[in-house]
Amino acid sequence: MDAPADEQPLPGRLGKLTPRQARRVRIVLASVLMAAMAVVLVVRLASRTSVLVVGVYGAALILCGIVIELSRNGRTRLGSWLLGVGLAAALAADWLLLP
């Protein structure tokens, strides 16, 4: 008896993750990055309080939440790209905009 489509490995992938496993990996990764962004936000606010700091890291926290929801709904590739590009943009904004 074949496993459900959600339990079969993705074709052509080295890791042979099932779609369910891929979703869980993205959810855990986004959750860990969300916690890291929260810690960085607290550290940055301790050193300098600014609305810009809250805006940049608040946007990164919201982005992580969006990626978690996308992954829960099966949009893992979109979530992966969004997480990578969004967090890179947040870190670039921190480096360029925040003193």
- Kindly state the average pLDDT of the residues 78-94: 89
- pLDDT tens-digit map of 8-64: 555 555 568 888 888 898 889 989 989 998 998 898 888 877 888 888 888 989 998
What is residue 31's predicted lDDT score, i.e. its pLDDT? 92
What is residue 53's predicted lDDT score, i.e. its pLDDT? 84
* Domain range annotation of the chain: 17-97
Distance CA 86, CA 64 (A): 9
What is residue 98's predicted lDDT score, i.e. its pLDDT? 74
DSSP per position, 31-98: HHHHHHHHHHHHHHHHH---HHHHHHHHHHHHHHHHHHHHHHTT-HHHHHHHHHHHHHHHHHHHHHH-
The residue with tokens 């891929």 is 22
pLDDT at 99 over 90: no
Distance CA 87, CA 78 (A): 14
